[in-house]
């Protein structure tokens, strides 16, 4: 028997007002005196803007001047990939949205980027399987052509706050310390196309290390041009406490449909079960999409319908278009 877990990521009317969240990547090392001297300025800036919700922060550790930096040693491969991507050769180096330098004047770089109009909305949900494993799902909505000069890739990096420090940080803490890039070193390619707004989905598995404090984990999500200089611009970012990410274990709540209701219920025997109750005489089209945007099931339905669809493990978007022009959507995650 398969169990099915539903995550309500896309219900009701969508809003397309994108707020810019600026990505700040701090390349640092526990033995770097200049990094330590800049730490109070950086922390003050970060604390202020995290409270405002307009930045996303990841601190990537390198292996110089100290080769014993514990954050670097915990995940050297993925951190090396980030600093190699930018050709970082000295620390501190601070990249703001991938294209500006934030050292030593991080506020000026932030102000420059925050003034740039943003046309990409990012939403993230967490779908636990067990206490330490699960999947994150990401919805990205491009309101218009993003004018990207290179291939776009999505990244989702787990970072941890308040990690006991070492070296110059002894007696203090490492903040937003790099832990795991859930999409791997090169991220996952995403592509948007007309007509706009265009919505793209991505998902990645996570497995939490027992040495991490899950209450201190944050998720840094961003979409970035992935090519050589100068094509490294971050289109937008997202930052959230990992445990506070939206979840939807169990039944997806019923959605109102212009006088009717669509319910996606928790089924048995591996069937995605959908119940529709519409006004008398109403009809519509029910479509189920996979994450690649392909239609995997389609049904013309009447005013009262119970639909069962057998699906493979994965994440799906359920979309109902009523003949009155209204559209209702919900997302389902199928797990064996």
Residue pLDDT, tens place only, 100-126: 999 999 999 999 999 999 999 998 988
Q: What DSSP character marks residue 18?
A: P
**CATH number of the domain at 22-244, please?**
2.60.40.10
What share of the chain in percent tops pLDDT 70?
84
What's the rounded Cα separation, in Å, for the pair 55 and 48? Answer: 10
Tell me, what's the pLDDT at 264?
58
Lowest mean pLDDT among 67-71, 89-93, 160-164, 291-295: 291-295
CA 271 to chain centre: 28
Q: Tell me if domain 22-244 and domain 251-335 are identical in fold.
A: yes
The strand pair at 22-28 and 55-61 is best described as: parallel
Locate the domains of the chain by residue range.
22-244, 251-335
Residue 45's alpha-carbon distances to 30, 114, 179, 180, 217, in angstroms, are 20, 14, 22, 24, 20
Res. 248 pLDDT band, cuts 50 70 90: very low
Tell me, what's the pLDDT at 158?
98
Write out the two tokens for 52: 């405002």
Tell me, what's the pLDDT at 334?
65
Q: Is 233 exposed, middle or buried (0-12, 13-18, 19+ CB in 10 A)?
A: buried
Q: Regarding predicted confidence, which is higher, 223 or 246?
A: 223
- Full-model pTM: 0.75
> Tell me: the pLDDT tens digits for 169-204?
999 999 999 999 999 999 999 999 998 888 888 889
What share of the chain in percent tops pLDDT 90?
59
What is the secondary structure of 155-197 as a DSSP string?
Answer: EEEEEESSEEP-GGGTTSEE-SEEEEETT-TT-EEE---SSSS
Tell me, what's the pLDDT at 333?
67
Which CATH architecture group holds 251-335? Sandwich (2.60)
> Tell me: the pLDDT tens digits for 33-88?
999 999 999 999 999 999 999 999 999 999 999 999 999 999 999 999 999 999 99
């Amino acid at each position: 028997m398969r169990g099915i877990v539903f995550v309500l990521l896309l219900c009701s009317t969508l809003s397309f007002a994108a707020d810019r969240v600026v990505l700040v990547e701090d390349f640092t090392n526990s033995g770097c005196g200049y990094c330590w001297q800049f730490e109070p300025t950086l922390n003050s800036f970060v604390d202020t803007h995290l409270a405002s919700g307009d930045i996303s922060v990841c601190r990537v550790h390198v292996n110089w001047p100290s080769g014993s930096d514990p954050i670097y040693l915990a995940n050297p491969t993925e951190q090396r990939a980030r600093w190699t991507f930018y050709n970082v050769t000295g620390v501190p180096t601070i990249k703001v949205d991938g294209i500006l330098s934030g050292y030593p004047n991080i506020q000026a770089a932030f102000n420059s980027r925050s003034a740039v109009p943003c046309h990409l909305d990012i939403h993230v949900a967490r779908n636990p399987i067990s206490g330490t494993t699960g999947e994150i799902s990401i919805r990205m909505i491009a309101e218009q052509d993003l004018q990207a000069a290179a291939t776009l890739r999505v990244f989702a990096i787990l970072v941890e706050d308040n990690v006991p420090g070492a070296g110059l940080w002894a007696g203090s803490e490492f903040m937003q310390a790099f832990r795991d890039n859930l999409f791997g070193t090169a991220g996952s390619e995403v592509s948007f196309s007309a007509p706009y707004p265009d919505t793209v989905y991505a998902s990645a598995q996570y497995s939490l290390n027992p040495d991490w404090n899950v209450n201190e984990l944050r998720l840094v999500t961003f979409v970035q041009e992935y090519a050589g200089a100068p094509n490294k611009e971050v289109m937008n970012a997202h930052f959230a406490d990992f445990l506070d990410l939206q979840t939807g274990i169990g039944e997806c709540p019923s959605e109102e449909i212009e006088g009717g209701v669509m319910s996606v219920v928790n089924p048995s025997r591996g069937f995605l079960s959908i119940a529709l109750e519409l006004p008398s005489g109403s009809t519509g089209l029910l479509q189920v999409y996979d994450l690649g945007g392909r239609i995997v099931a389609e049904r013309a339905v009447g005013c009262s319908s119970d639909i069962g669809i057998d699906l493979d493990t994965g994440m799906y978007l359920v979309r109902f278009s009523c003949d009155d022009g209204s559209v209702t959507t919900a997302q389902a995650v199928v797990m064996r």
